[in-house]
């Protein structure tokens, strides 16, 4: 009898701890206090906003399941291959770069990309019939309103430092007077319109007479760009950025459609808010 009483007390205690850990229930799916705290840390958001982010994610998960949306392993691999190619890397070098930059394993990366592709398919299914292509007037209006965002340097004069040993290259970045025969140098002019958007963004963010962060060179080594000179800025003509503008307008419309869709879904869904973590 004593053992039965102890077992009952233990069961009640465990159930109480489990219930205490649940903060929100979305269509019978639980979001815990720990989930919210993790999101607060990751996104640097207050508790209420972090909870709203998780509710949106939970609604997306449910929609993906209900619509029977799936992503094959081959689709994940193709996405990784394309991303690596855009950065002039082999797939193994790309995995290595991701691991070194944020500690993510290849398995974790694949899981993240799979979730991204699932969300993309869901968004396309929701927004497909609600978004029309912008016309000529829309494109011209957007360009005239956002001209400043289409001004960029004509090019960059750089010295490219390359080394197989990342630590040795870091010594050069930390101390420009440092010399090592293991570090190769190559001085180049890089026209803005001839380099990849990723490299252009990296160079634009780097101050004059400074090194860029060290990045893989796609050939098993590492490189850093020293910015010697930035050629005067120029305005991109409408025709040269037409597709970019079309994509941006469609992106804005898509975001609005999705926001309205999930706002309605949230309003009509069975959502129970039980408690929130302390700020």
Per-residue pLDDT of the chain (279 residues; tens, 9 = 90+): 445 544 444 444 444 444 458 999 999 999 999 999 999 998 899 999 999 999 999 999 999 999 999 999 999 999 999 988 887 788 888 888 888 877 889 999 999 999 999 999 999 999 887 788 899 999 999 999 998 888 889 899 999 999 999 899 999 999 989 988 999 999 999 998 888 888 888 999 999 999 999 988 877 789 999 999 999 877 778 888 899 899 999 999 999 999 999 999 999 999 999 998 876
Question: pTM to 2 decimals?
Answer: 0.67
Q: Which residues pair with 222 in a beta bridge?
A: 163, 216
Q: Strand 222-230 vs strand 155-163: parallel, antiparallel, or unpaired?
A: antiparallel
> Domains in the chain, please, with CATH?
1-66+243-279 (no CATH), 67-130 (no CATH), 155-231 (3.10.50.40)
As given in the structure block, the two tokens for residue 169 are 């290259």
DSSP letter assigned to residue 1: -
What DSSP element (H or E) covers 60? helix 47-66
What DSSP element (H or E) covers 237? none
Whole-angstrom CA distances from 158 to 49, 59, 74, 100 are 43, 48, 39, 25
Cα diameter, the chain:
87
């Amino acid at each position: 009898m004593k053992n039965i009483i102890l077992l009952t007390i233990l069961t009640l205690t465990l159930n109480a701890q489990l219930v205490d850990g649940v903060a929100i229930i979305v269509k019978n799916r639980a979001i815990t206090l720990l989930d919210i705290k993790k999101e607060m840390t990751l996104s640097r958001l207050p508790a209420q906003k972090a909870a709203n982010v998780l509710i949106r994610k939970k609604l997306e998960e449910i929609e993906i399941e209900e619509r029977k949306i799936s992503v094959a392993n081959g689709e994940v691999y193709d996405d990784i291959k394309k991303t690596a190619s855009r950065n002039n890397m082999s797939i193994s070098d790309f995995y290595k770069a991701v691991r070194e930059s944020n500690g993510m394993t290849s398995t974790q990366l694949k899981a993240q990309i799979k979730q991204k592709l699932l969300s993309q398919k869901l968004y396309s299914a929701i927004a497909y019939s609600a978004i029309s292509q912008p016309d000529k007037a829309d494109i011209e209006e957007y360009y005239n309103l956002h001209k400043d965002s289409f001004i960029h340097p004509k090019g960059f004069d750089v010295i490219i430092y390359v080394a197989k040993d990342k630590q040795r290259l870091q010594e050069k970045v930390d101390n420009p007077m440092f010399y090592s025969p293991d570090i190769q140098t190559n001085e180049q002019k890089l026209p803005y319109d001839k380099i990849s958007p990723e490299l252009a963004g990296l160079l634009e963010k780097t101050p004059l007479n400074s090194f860029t962060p060290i990045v893989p060179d796609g050939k098993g080594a590492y490189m850093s760009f020293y910015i010697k000179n930035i050629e005067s800025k120029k305005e991109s003509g409408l025709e040269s950025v037409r597709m970019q503008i079309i994509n941006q307008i469609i992106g804005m419309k898509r975001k609005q459609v999705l926001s309205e869709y999930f706002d309605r879904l949230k309003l009509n869904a069975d959502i129970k808010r039980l408690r929130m973590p302390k700020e």
